[in-house]
Structure 1
Amino acid sequence: MSQQKLTAAFVHALGLTDDKVTDDLTYNTIPEWDSTAHMILIAELEDTFDIMLDTDDIIDMSSVAEAKRILAKYNVQF
């Protein structure tokens, strides 16, 4: 369930297709995930999982895999 919500958040925020949202997807390796889109993604993740990410977590979120690790700190299980 959380994986589907995470994928949907990335798809909605970055305008990607589901198949592009893999653990290997990394910030700034695709044109869709730039600094502006990163903030849109953060807002989408906060809304989706009803959390408030701290600044360090926002800065550290550099990949889908890292997003999972960070979200786990907020009791989101994958």
Structure 2
Amino acid sequence: MSTTQELHQVFATAFEIPVESITPDLEYQGIVEWDSMSHLLLVEELERFYNVSISMEDILEMGNIDKIKAILKKNGVEIQ
């Protein structure tokens, strides 16, 4: 099981921003740092950190933190 704080740290690492900038309502293109290129960096960081492989279909659905949590859960990673 993983924590929301760890997930936020993954986002901060991928986007190279302070972890305090990550909010529960963060959405794709909701901040300048989350663009199409950094979205791929986020996927890479999620796959590395959680040791999962995310399908292209799921990558396209990753529009906000809640959807990412659901996709991780589908891959066996429960975020608390």
Alignment gaps of 5+ in structure 2 = none
Which shows bigger deviation, 8-17 or 41-50?
A: 8-17
Superposed, 1:30-69 pairs within 5 Å as 30-69=31-70
- Structure 2 distance, partners of 1:9, 1:60, is 18
CA contact (8 A) 1:9 1:48 kept: yes
Counterpart of 1:13 in structure 2 is 14
Query: What's the RMSD between the two structures over aligned residues?
Result: 1.1
Which shows bigger deviation, 67-76 or 45-54?
A: 67-76
- TM-score normalised to the size of structure 1? 0.91
SS in 1 for 2:68: helix
Off by >3 Å, runs of 4+ in structure 1: none
Structure 1 residue 75 corresponds to structure 2 residue 79: no
- TM-score normalised to the size of structure 2? 0.89
Alignment gaps of 5+ in structure 1 = none
Identity %: 33
CA contact (8 A) 1:8 1:18 kept: yes
